[in-house]
């Protein structure tokens, strides 16, 4: 009996393990069944996004980006978050030569000659330019990801007409600055070869390097042009779905959620916006900008296909997380919700957005307690394009010169003075 006692203990132990394994399998099967049933019954579908990408990337972040900054498409907001990312990671941003001001000599075709030598070789480029594939490939590294943003042509044209009414000759000719009068007979005011004519017709096609005057009746031109755009740009964002676009951008670049936080920049006051409510006016705008309209319609369709690839539930979950993160940042920077102000009411002149004319009021932000010390992250979050571009140029110039003498960190307030004359500010 003494010899058989260990075998009894061994047998009991084996049976306990089998029972435990059986119970574990039974629990797993029951849990799986409940989860499947809950998806059909709607108990907690929000908790089932197990395949959604984490908000903190598990892969190395992509650090070579060329952003084609189009006009009046919320592109300044995108540019700002790209500038902040590049600065945080000590990446060189290509910036315009002094002769080009804050744009790469737009509306001329982009050339490497327009890049300031102290910003070479770059990993980022995000200032306004007219797309030139060969020159950008000469400038940017081989692993560069190309991104741009489009906007629905009706709202975009209204914004262009309002914003550039004192720069575009076609708009200046219109009696009383009436958009309706212009659209009733646009050829009476439009001259395709005038300076700044590109703001008056098919601006998206022009910015992308295409011919805005090409006949929309040509069955081959636009499909071929779209194919070229698709072969270059990994992502075409849409201003109407800005947050969803940022989610796709984050996935494309393997960035974290904190890398795409933002506040809206370079916005017009409600009083500066024109009324586009009639179906007739919208149809006139789309007909006058037929190439832009068809371009947008195409990339609107591809945009939704990209969202479906990520998963609509996952995208909405990320959009919600993005809203919450932006609200937390705004609460820290503004002690509540950010309040937009007319430029002249902003105490810190380095935060005043550029005004295209007296007829358009561009609003911006002031930070509580205007005096130092200001949170640098908050300051960069609301810094307008012109000031941020000059700040980065000065910072990178100092780094490029490789000064050996110790110096204090560059203050964001110590920006260069504005030039005596500024060309029209872009979106």
Residue 253 pLDDT? 97
DSSP letter string over 43-84? SSGGGG-TTSPPSS-SSPPP--EEEE--SSSSHHHHHHHHHH
Residue 6 pLDDT? 44
Among candidates 138, 104, 109, which has minimal Cα distance to 121? Answer: 138
Model pTM score: 0.82
Residue 52 pLDDT? 84
Which of 82-91, 128-137, 367-376 bottoms out in mean pLDDT, i.e. has the lowest? 367-376
Residue 83 pLDDT? 98
Instruction: Say if residues 216 and 222 touch (Cβ distance below 8 Å).
Output: yes
Q: What is the pLDDT of residues 1-37, one digit of tens each?
A: 444 444 444 444 455 666 666 666 665 555 544 444 4
Instruction: Say if residues 69 and 79 touch (Cβ distance below 8 Å).
Output: yes
Asked if the model's pLDDT at residue 176 lies above 80, the reply is yes
Residue 198 pLDDT? 97
Residue 8 pLDDT? 41
Helices and strands of the chain, counted as H and E runs: 14, 8
Asked if the model's pLDDT at residue 183 lies above 50, the reply is yes
- The pLDDT-based confidence of 374 (bands split at 50, 70, 90) is low
Asked if the model's pLDDT at residue 216 lies above 70, the reply is yes
- The pLDDT-based confidence of 414 (bands split at 50, 70, 90) is very low
Residue 289 in tokens: 């900008």
228-262 burial: b if 16+ Cβ within 10 Å, else e: ebeebbbbbbbbbbbbbbbbbbbbebebebebbbb
Sort strands 145-150 and 65-68 into parallel, antiparallel or unpaired: parallel
Asked if the model's pLDDT at residue 272 lies above 90, the reply is no
Q: Say which residue, 71 or 49, is predicted with more confidence.
A: 71
Residue 67 β-bridge partners: 147
Residue 412 pLDDT? 52
Among candidates 161, 323, 123, which has minimal Cα distance to 242? Answer: 323
Residue 95 pLDDT? 98
Which of 13-22, 186-195, 364-373 bottoms out in mean pLDDT, i.e. has the lowest? 13-22
To the nearest 10°, report the CA torsion of 273, 278, 282, 287.
-130
Which of 75-89, 285-299, 321-335, 402-416 bottoms out in mean pLDDT, i.e. has the lowest? 402-416
Residue 417 pLDDT? 41
- The pLDDT-based confidence of 344 (bands split at 50, 70, 90) is confident
- The pLDDT-based confidence of 415 (bands split at 50, 70, 90) is very low
Q: What's the whole-number mean pLDDT along residues 234-263?
A: 97
Residue 240 pLDDT? 98
Residue 274 pLDDT? 86
Average pLDDT along the chain: 85
Q: Cα-flanking dihedrals φ and ψ of residue 210, to 5°?
A: -90, -175
Residue 19 pLDDT? 61
* DSSP classification of residue 337: S
Instruction: Say if residues 392 and 359 touch (Cβ distance below 8 Å).
Output: no
Residue 400 pLDDT? 82
Spatial distance between the Cα atoms of 332 and 339, rounded to a whole number of angstroms: 13
Instruction: Return the percentage of the chain with pLDDT > 70, whole number.
Output: 81
Residue 31 pLDDT? 52
CA distances, 306 to each of 208, 244, 250, 310, 322 (Å):
21, 10, 13, 7, 19
End-to-end CA distance of the chain: 93
Instruction: Say if residues 150 and 237 touch (Cβ distance below 8 Å).
Output: yes
Q: What's the whole-number mean pLDDT along residues 45-56?
A: 60
């Amino acid at each position: 009996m003494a010899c058989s006692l260990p075998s009894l203990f061994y047998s009991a132990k084996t049976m306990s393990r089998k029972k435990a394994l059986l119970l574990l399998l039974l629990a797993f099967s029951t849990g799986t069944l409940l989860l499947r049933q809950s998806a059909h019954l709607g108990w907690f579908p929000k908790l089932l996004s197990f395949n959604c990408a984490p908000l903190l990337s598990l892969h190395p972040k992509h650090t070579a980006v060329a952003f084609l900054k189009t006009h009046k498409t919320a592109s300044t907001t995108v540019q700002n978050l790209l500038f902040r990312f590049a600065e945080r990671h000590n990446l060189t941003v290509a910036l315009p030569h002094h002769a080009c001001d804050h744009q790469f000599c737009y509306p001329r075709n982009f050339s490497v000659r327009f890049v300031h030598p102290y910003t070479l070789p770059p990993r980022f480029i995000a200032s306004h330019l007219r797309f030139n594939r060969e020159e950008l490939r000469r400038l940017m590294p081989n692993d560069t990801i190309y991104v741009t943003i489009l906007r629905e042509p009706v709202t975009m044209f209204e914004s262009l007409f309002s914003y550039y009414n004192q720069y575009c000759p076609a708009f200046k000719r219109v009696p009383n600055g009436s958009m309706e009068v212009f659209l009733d007979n646009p050829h009476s005011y439009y001259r395709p070869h005038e300076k700044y004519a590109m703001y008056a017709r098919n601006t998206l096609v022009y910015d992308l390097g295409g011919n805005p005057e090409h006949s929309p009746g040509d069955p081959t031109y636009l499909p071929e042009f779209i194919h070229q755009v698709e072969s270059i740009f990994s992502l075409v964002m849409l201003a109407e779905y800005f947050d969803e676009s940022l989610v796709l951008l984050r996935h494309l670049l393997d960035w974290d959620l904190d890398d795409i936080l933002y506040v809206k920049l370079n916005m017009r006051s409600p009083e500066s916006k024109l009324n586009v409510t009639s179906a007739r006016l919208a149809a006139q705008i789309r007909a006058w900008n037929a190439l832009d309209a068809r371009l947008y319609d195409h990339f609107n369709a591809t945009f939704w296909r990209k969202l479906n690839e990520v998963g609509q539930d996952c995208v909405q979950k990320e959009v919600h997380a993005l809203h919450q993160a932006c609200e937390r940042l705004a609460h820290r920077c503004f002690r509540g919700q950010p309040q937009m102000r007319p430029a002249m009411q902003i105490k810190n002149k380095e935060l005043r957005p550029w005004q295209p004319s007296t007829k358009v009021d561009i609003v911006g932000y002031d930070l509580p307690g205007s005096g130092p010390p200001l949170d640098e992250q908050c300051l960069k979050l609301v810094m307008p394009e012109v000031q941020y571009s000059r700040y980065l140029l000065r910072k990178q110039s100092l780094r490029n010169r490789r000064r050996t003498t110790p110096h204090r960190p560059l203050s964001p307030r110590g920006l260069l003075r504005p030039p005596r004359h500024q060309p029209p500010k872009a979106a």
